[in-house]
Amino acid sequence: MPRNDIFYDFPGLVDPPPPASNEEPSPKKTDTTLFFLGGIVMFIVLLIILVVFWKRIKGSKNTTPPKTTKGKQGKLTETAEVMDMMFSSKQQQGSMELLSGNLRTISYFDYQILRRATKNFSPTNLLGSGGFGPVYRGEREFLAEVRLITSIQHKNLVRLLGCCIDGPQRILVYEYMKNRSLDFFIYGNNADRFLNWSTRFQIVLGVARGLQYLHEDSHLRIVHRDIKASNILLDDKFHPKIGDFGLARFFPEDQAYLSTQFAGTLGYTAPEYALRGELSEKADIYSFGVLLLEIICCRKNTDLTLSLEMQYLPEYAWKLYENSKIMELVDPKLKEEGFVEKDVMQAFHVAFLCLQPLANLRPPMSEIVALLTFKIDMVTTPMRPAFLDRRRKTDFQTPSPEVISMLSHLP
């Protein structure tokens, strides 16, 4: 058919492009494109890995740590190995899990740093000693103390900052307590160590509140087992904190007492625990009673340099109490400084309640705190406390069997 369009043969005009096709590109072209893009991505990833690896190598060359220094991960690994060794039996797996979780919440200190900080553990820098010595401590006791102290927190309990596990070394790092321990102030006659009654009462109440937390308010029921003056640490304002948990025991809620081997300090030990191995929180309460007498009188519970009747403090204090002469036992420096006699008398009364010969006669720590805080009038009359009787050379002097039988049926 002839074309009549006058513009058809106009110079410079070209044929229009063919209509778009609905056909898909061939598989061969798609595969080639994907392969090309994938190669680019892999090259970029490989380049990033090489750069990171090069930076790490460069950093390790620039920083060469001492041979004795280990990173935190190394400490965690070594700690885990120690725990695996100590808690390998099925019976102790629960303890291991609790311990391993708590260990990862505290700091780890390098042994060489601690050695430099203490001038190679010089005696001149020694603030005190725990139940197992100033530096060396048994493996089991070390792990027990870490496990326990990291599971509890209270203003009247010493705070664990971290620990060091380096070969055979096992070191616990606690917060610094500027005024050392209580025994430094109440044993001795140095004038610059005198504590007035207000400060002494603050210490007594703080220790009582710390024990109340351990026995009644903590999510774990804990018996300290070694409450004594050297384990009461004092901060810069003489606020007390209970320390040295190496002998502490978790206590089942459904048991009145545990049958266990004796551990602690004899002068502070309750009779049922020392003689029969019956441990409960009432053992701590007995120890608190002895400590309270020491704070009031400013002397050790046992002093063999004194006359026979004065050597054991609870025995001598009770004799004076029966004869209405208990105020003669008060620290003479306190008398010079001045104090409210009624408050000191109440403190004596609380001490004797804590020293009762039978565990069920000793009040719980919450009641002791109430007696000290609100200065409630005393209703209960204390019995003769259990104490060492050197004249008869028996371990403890207790009430007669008839009295014990009668008291055992009391609620």
Tens-digit pLDDT profile for residues 327-354: 999 999 898 888 889 999 999 999 999 9
Regarding whether 236 and 268 lie in a shared domain, the answer is yes
Regarding whether 130 and 223 lie in a shared domain, the answer is no
**Inside any domain, residue 36:** no
**Inside any domain, residue 129:** yes
Regarding whether 384 and 282 lie in a shared domain, the answer is yes
**Inside any domain, residue 63:** no
- The residue from 174, 199, 227 where one domain ends is 174
Per residue in 173-207, pLDDT (tens digit) is: 888 888 989 999 998 766 568 899 999 999 999 99
What DSSP assignment string belongs to 346-389? HHHHHHHHHT-SSGGGSPPHHHHHHHHHH-PPP-SPPPPPPEEE
Regarding whether 273 and 187 lie in a shared domain, the answer is yes
- Most confident of the ranges 50-64, 87-101, 107-121, 197-211: 197-211
Residue 365 CB-half CA count within 13 A: 27
Regarding whether 263 and 133 lie in a shared domain, the answer is no
pLDDT-wise least confident of 49-53, 95-99, 175-179, 256-260: 95-99
Regarding whether 338 and 288 lie in a shared domain, the answer is yes
**Inside any domain, residue 51:** no
CA distance 329 to 299: 10
Contact 351, 289 (CB under 8 A): yes
Regarding whether 238 and 137 lie in a shared domain, the answer is no
Structural domain range at position 126: 72-174
CA distance 142 to 212: 24
Count of structural domains, the chain: 2
Regarding whether 188 and 165 lie in a shared domain, the answer is no
Regarding whether 211 and 84 lie in a shared domain, the answer is no
**Inside any domain, residue 19:** no
Residues belonging to the active site: 226
Report pTM: 0.67
Regarding whether 252 and 201 lie in a shared domain, the answer is yes
Long-range own/partner contacts, residues 83-86 (CB < 8 A, 24 or more apart): 83/143, 86/139, 86/140, 86/143
The whole-number pLDDT of residue 153 equals: 86
CATH number of the domain at 162, please: 3.30.200.20
